[in-house]
Amino acid sequence: MIFVTGGAGFIGSNFILDWLAQAAAEPVLNIDKLTYAGNPYNLEAVAGDARYAFVQADICDETAIATLLSRYRPRAIVHLAAESHVDRSIHSPDEFIRTNVNGTFNLLNRALHYWSTLPGPEQADFRFLHVSTDEVYGSLEPQSPPFSEDAPYTPNSLYSASKAASDHLVRAYHQTYGLPTLTTNCSNNYGPYHFPEKLIPLVIANALAGNPLPIYGDGMQIRDWLYVTDHCTALRTILAHGATGETYNIGGGNEQTNLHVVHTLCDILDELAARAQGSYRDLITFVKDRPGHDRRYAIDSGKLERTLGWQPAESFQSGIRKTVQWYLANGEWVRQVRSGAYLNWLRQQYGDHPPGALI
């Protein structure tokens, strides 16, 4: 069995779906606190799969994590649980420190205690895979080479600072105690089940509703875009073959300005779900830039490609079209998430089970 923290979130749910799609996949225990962005409805397709189980628990809860480790004895932890929205970190940084720093610290502590009790072969096989972000590296100049694993950490937002702190903790637990850790730093993910506070799903949802499409500043901020299924494939590869103590950058090789992303979304929507009058581009509006907004991110995935043979399968053009098609085909999911109605689904599915109760 493997544990996945934050498995009801965007990347977490895609990872679990991708994992269980493999014929020989080990069982998965999904550990998620179910904050506003955690939605087990994403995993409805595997709810009846005997290889899947869900526990509502907080990664900061020492007793809950220790109990789950003792009871289920996983051979790996894939740590995806995190507060991840930069805008929210500006207004509520305490939640980011609590989850991203204290939560990771608690997981590492509990994992170290559990790992130290394992017999030799199981101890050798155990892995703690920590999933982080390219934002820990700060902002790139227009002509600078993409971030490598050796790039210095210069986080500029409360979100990226909290993730940088968690990365350092993971490294320290490997260096100090020998805990077999792996760290990944990925570029901007996009794809199905993305909570509509982030750029791509927000633009799609707003466009279809006829609402303004807000773009920060001049829209010329550059991001490297990674289709979420490509990210999941990379994580599976690193978990299986990565060298302990190492960091691997995961990028899509698709640098795009925010404005180009929004234009592309509008053009695809014009083709697939045309407005009665005009283009979706007519809805674009520019708003005041947010504080500490990094100008450019770009990831060098060369180490991962050279050592483990991974490459992204999707170009930006193919991935963004698949994403728009998914949102058009799953309007009810978007409606429920935006209205909060999915919370009713949670109550119907899981009732009033206390945190830590296996569903």
Please report, for the chain, the start and end positions of each structural domain, with discontinuous segments joined by +. 2-350
Host H or E run for residue 276: none
pLDDT score recorded for residue 24: 84
The Cα–Cα gap between 158 and 140 comes to 18
Q: What is the pLDDT of residue 193?
A: 94
Asked if pLDDT for residue 344 goes beyond 50, the answer is yes
Active site residue 159: yes
CATH topology assigned to domain 2-350 = Rossmann fold (3.40.50)
In this prediction, residue 87 carries a pLDDT of: 76
Which member of 61, 83, 135, 294 is catalytic?
135
Q: What is the percentage of the chain residues whose pLDDT exceeds 70?
A: 94
What is the C-alpha separation between 357 and 359, in angstroms, rounded?
6
- What is the helix (H) or strand (E) element at residue 201, kind and residue range? helix 199-209
Tens-digit pLDDT profile for residues 181-212:
999 999 999 999 998 778 899 899 889 999 99
In this prediction, residues 161-177 reach a mean pLDDT of: 98
Over 70: is that where the pLDDT of 350 sits? no
95-123 burial, b at 16+ Cβ within 10 Å, e below that, comes to: ebbebbbbbbbbbbbbbeebbeeeeeeee
Q: Which residue has the higher pLDDT, 288 or 101?
A: 101
> Quick check: 269 pLDDT over 80?
yes
Catalytic residue, candidates 159, 280, 297, 327 = 159
User: Catalytic annotation on 216?
Assistant: no
Active site residue 332: no
**d(Cα 55, Cα 70) in Å, to the nearest integer?**
14
What's the pLDDT score for residue 355?
30
Instruction: Name the active-site residue from 134, 149, 294, 300.
Output: 134
Q: What is the mean pLDDT of the chain?
A: 91
